[in-house]
Amino acid sequence: MLLRKTADVVGLTGHIAAAFGPGRPERICRGTVLVSAAAAIAAGARNLSQIERMLAGHAGTFGVCGSDSTLWRTLDSVDERRLRRLRVAHRRARKKAWQLLEQRPGGFPWLTIGGKTLQGWIIADLDATLVECHSDKENTAGTYKGGFGVHPLGAWVANTGETCTILPRPGNAGSNTAADHHTVLDEVLDQIPDHGRHSKILIRIDGAGATHETIDRILAANHKRRRVASTIGWAITDVEEAAIKALPEQAWTAYLRQDGTPATVTTNDGEQVDYGHVAEITGLPRRAGWPDTMRLIARRVPITDRDRAAGKLTTLEKRTGWNYAVTATNIVRMRGTPGTHQPQWLDVLHRHHATVEDRVRVAKQVGIGHLPSASWQVNVAWTLLAGIAADLEAWTRLLGFHDHDLLAKAEPTTMRELVYRLPARLARHARKRWLRFDRDHPHTDAIATAWQRLAATANLTT
């Protein structure tokens, strides 16, 4: 119920219906079909038949949502032209949702990293993941890990947990394919609303993004109205190792925790020492063809038993006892936030990119991990629908439960157990329909409050 209400509040239902264009009056609204399916996916449905069963018998609450055959035909009709229209509908709904987030108590959720609040910065994390398939589907192939399935590349907004885009790819697609990163970057820049308040974007990618084409695309995205910064993992070769060896010991500064304080450990003698260190090696590696504005930040931390078991330690790491990593960035400083030029903080900023793994895991819980058809076209449309479902789930929490200690940051499995699957009885009284919940349920009041907030939000003009 709340998911469908959120879709109506941000205008998603109407925008999707418009993307399909006018049809015969007796036909079911395609906006209702897809939004209802997205709500069912967020509530736990894994395929078309489960969506139909979940929505069956709830016509009094949701209206006529169609059968699994109707949903399959709708997804099968999504060609490239209609896919572009659906992405536009998604972008318009996101813009409305962000406007509503700005008007809630506390405003838009800006991130605090390394003890610094990045006011005005939208942070997008790119990452690829493997989705295993247990049957032969179109474009499935063997993966680099020895499995069988597909290898989508996605982008997620770290501020809100939203899914910007997910690019379906065959299972044998490369991790560092520049053309795919180019496509996803273009979609990220298109999906993030830019109306004067969201014109600063930070792109974070792991080592798969360290290509000339990807870095050049990020630099080219900068213009007078938009600042695009980046942090990207960098491969360590003999050139980088030589630069690290050339650093004097005093060039290394303390490794910071995510709260901005130095990370220390206690030795056997009871002495507090730095856990790791950070240093800048910009200019030391002699590499032609890379942008002059690119900075390289090196990090060293103690070697763990897991590192030794992996058997990938270099000669330098074995000799020094440190595990090294390098980050490439075009950030000189973030205007208005002091200290953002320091290598220590830039290292923390990129390490925060690891939170994208949570977003990937959630995406797999909300539809991405189960492709329902042997048809590639249907699965591409399903991937977009799953992304919409993940955003509906995020918007519902951010708009309806933003001040609830548990539900504000709950993952889909928790929301399904405590909110989305809570039984209710549909009753009619005084010419109105009433959903009656169990008064003894611990979260009934929170659900009622969320409904009232969404209903009031629907009347706001922005």
pLDDT in tens, 325-376: 999 999 998 888 889 999 999 999 999 999 999 999 999 999 999 899 999 9
Helix, strand and coil in the chain, % to nearest 5:
45, 20, 35
Q: Phi then psi for 82, rounded to 5 degrees?
A: -70, -30
pLDDT of res. 143? 92
Tell me the per-residue pLDDT of 300-314, one tens digit each, with 9 for 90 and over.
Answer: 999 988 888 888 899
pLDDT tens digits for 195-233?
A: 555 589 999 999 999 999 999 999 999 888 889 999 999
Residue 199's nearest CA partner among 178, 181, 221 is 221
**Helix residue spans in 352-443 (DSSP H):** 356-363, 376-400, 412-415
Residue 158 · residue 355 · CB < 8 Å = yes
- 452 forms beta bridges with none
CB neighbour list of residue 222: distance below 8 Å, 6 or more residues apart = 228
Tokens matching residue 84: 């572009």
Strand, coil or helix: 128: strand
pLDDT tens digit sequence for 146-182:
999 999 999 999 999 999 999 999 999 988 899 999 9
Across 269-333, where does the E strand assignment appear? 272-274, 277-280, 295-302, 322-329
Contact by Cβ (8 Å): 402, 104? yes
Check: CB of residue 133 under 8 Å from CB of residue 140.
Answer: yes
Q: In the predicted model, is pLDDT for residue 454 greater than 70?
A: yes
pLDDT of residue 59: 76
Report the alpha-carbon distance of residue 128 to residue 151 in Å, rounded: 7
Cβ-proximal residues to 201 (8 Å cutoff; 6+ apart), any chain: 121, 122, 123, 124, 188, 189, 192, 221, 226, 227, 228, 229
Cβ contact 349:158 at 8 Å: no
25, pLDDT greater than 60: no
